[in-house]
Structure formats: C-alpha cells, structure tokens
Structure 1
Amino acid sequence: MGINEAIAVTYEALIVIIKITFPTLAITTALAAGLTIFQSVTNINESSIQQDVKIFATLAILFVTGPAIFIALRDYTLIIFERIAMLQ
C-alpha cells in the first residue's frame, strides 16, 4: 500500500464520518440555537431544559438515521475488507 492509497482510505473514512454525523450535529445545533433564542426572549434561565431537549432530540435523530448509519458503515467496511484482501 502506497501513500496515495493510504490517503484515499483516510479521505473515504472522513467522508463516511461526515455523512454519519452531519444530520445529528446540524439538527441539534439548530435546535440549540432556537432554544437559546426562546429562553432569552422569555427570560427562562433554566439550563436543564435545553440539555434535556437536546438529549431527547439527539436520541430521536439517531433512532431515525440508524439504518442509514448502519448501511454507510457496512459499505465502508466491505470496501476496506476488499482492499485488505487485495494486498496479499
């Protein structure tokens, strides 16, 4: 395995990680921003509300996107196993 193949594998791994994490991070960040604005407008200074909502939203998002995460990881793992088999 040369340096170009190692860079390609690393690049593909980063793309898979971004595909897996982006929906959860984007939705949770937008939700946190909305809750922060809501709390500042209504003068509610309770931080546990924001944490609870973000935890439940993150769990719901992961539950919904779980099959897509599984498929992305399975496909990448199969590609890596094929490349390992070609090394020998």
Structure 2
Amino acid sequence: MGMEEAIGVTYEALIVIIKISFPALAITTALGAILTIFQSVTNINEASIQQDLKIFSTLAILFVTGPAIYLALRDYTLLIFERIAMLH
C-alpha cells in the first residue's frame, strides 16, 4: 500500500465519520443555541435543563439515524475488507 492509497483510505474514513456524526452534532448544537437564547430571555439559569434536553435529543437522533449509521459503517467495512484482500 502506497502513501496515496493510505491517504485515500484515511480521507474516506473521515468522510464516513462526518456523515455519521453530523446530524447529531448539528441538531444538538442548534438546540443548545435556541435553549441558551430562551434561558437568557427568561432569566432561567438552570444548567440541568439544557443538559437533559441535549442528552435526550441526541439519543433520539441516534435512534432515528441508527439504520443509516449501520449502512455507512457496513459499506465502509466491506470496502476496507476488499482492499485488504487485494493486497495479497
């Protein structure tokens, strides 16, 4: 395996990681920003509200996107196994 192939595999792995993590990160970040604005406007200074909502929303997002995560990881794993088989 040459340097270019190793860089290509690493790039593909990073793309898969971004595809998997982006929905949860984006929605949780937006929800946190909205909640922060709401707490600033209403003068509610309770940190546990924001943490609880983020945890539950992240779990819900992961539950909904679970099949897509599985497919992305499965496809990438199969691709890596094919490349390993070609090395011999």
- On whether the aligned pair clears a TM of 0.5, the verdict is yes
- Counterparts of 2:10 and 2:50, CA distance in 1: 35
How big is the alpha-carbon RMSD for the aligned residues of Structure 1 and Structure 2? 0.2
Tell me the CA shift for residue 77 of structure 1.
Answer: 0.1
Could you list the per-position Cα deviations for residues 21-80 of structure 1 after superposition, in whole angstroms to 9, with x for gaps in the alignment?
000000000000000000000000000000000000000000000000000000000000
Q: 2:53 aligns to what?
A: 53
Q: After TM superposition, where is structure 1 displaced by more than 2 Å over at least 4 residues in a row? A: none
Tell me the CA shift for residue 2 of structure 1.
Answer: 0.3
**What is the percent sequence identity of the aligned residues?**
84
Q: 2:69 aligns to what?
A: 69
TM-score normalised to structure 2 length = 1.00
Number of residue equivalences:
88
- Structure 1 unpaired stretches of 5+: none
TM-score normalised to structure 1 length = 1.00
Q: Does 1:27 align with 2:30?
A: no
- Structure 2 unpaired stretches of 5+: none
Q: 2:83 aligns to what?
A: 83
Q: 1:8 aligns to what?
A: 8
